[in-house]
Amino acid sequence: MNKKLILLVRAYNDLDCRLPVLMEFAEKGNYDIFIIGIPTNNGISDLRNHELLAVLGDLGIHYQTIFDLNKRYIPNILFWIYSLFQPRKGIAGKISNKIKQKLFKIIVFISYRSNYWFEDIIKSFDKSIIIIDEVVFQKNRSFFVDELIEHKDHFSIYSFILSADNLNNMSFSESYTLI
């Protein structure tokens, strides 16, 4: 049975920066690899249209959001409605963004109130290796990450930052050893 590797992404560049790590794990074939979009306290970026997902899909690596992991709960329905709001310009855009922000606050509130939502997600992460960016070190930036850290005895969490400055001054293998 393969080990489970989960890359938690909250923004577009999280996937780009960690692509070499995913490719290396995929080539070894010892891991079932999942990319899961997570929210910050301000919203969630749905990366379903990211151009790299097709390439990763060919390697057996697929993307979903934490709201896709549990289809039976109200946060999932609200997230679906939330994802329908697309960026717009002008007064309609301002109204749309306000509604979207309010809806996301309701999603966060209901997620916290759900008896099983976090528990089921944590169970699905059991005995996994989780890779995440620096948000793990910034309490109160993501309600989901804060809850994840509370259950860290069920899985391994690794975080590293790859920025242009890091990559200009060291090789990938050097930055990889910083984990």
How do residues 20-78 score in pLDDT, each as one tens digit? Answer: 888 888 888 888 888 888 888 888 877 777 788 888 888 888 888 888 776 666 777 88
Helix (H) or strand (E) run with residue 7 in it: strand 3-9
Residue 100 lies in a domain: no
Residue 129 confidence class, pLDDT cut points 50, 70, 90: confident
CA distance 115 to 110: 10
Residue 95 lies in a domain: no
Residue 77 lies in a domain: no
Q: For residue 13, give Cα distances in angstroms to 51, 61, 70, 78, 164.
A: 12, 17, 25, 25, 12
Residue 86 lies in a domain: no
Q: What's the whole-model pTM score?
A: 0.77
pLDDT tens column, 70-113: 666 677 788 888 888 877 788 888 888 889 889 888 888 887 77
| Dihedral pair phi/psi, residue 101, rounded to 5° | -65, -45
Residue 78 lies in a domain: no
Residue 38 lies in a domain: yes
Residue 88 lies in a domain: no
The domain in which residue 145 lies consists of 3-72+125-176
**What CATH number does the domain containing 151 carry?**
3.40.50
Number of domains composing the chain: 1
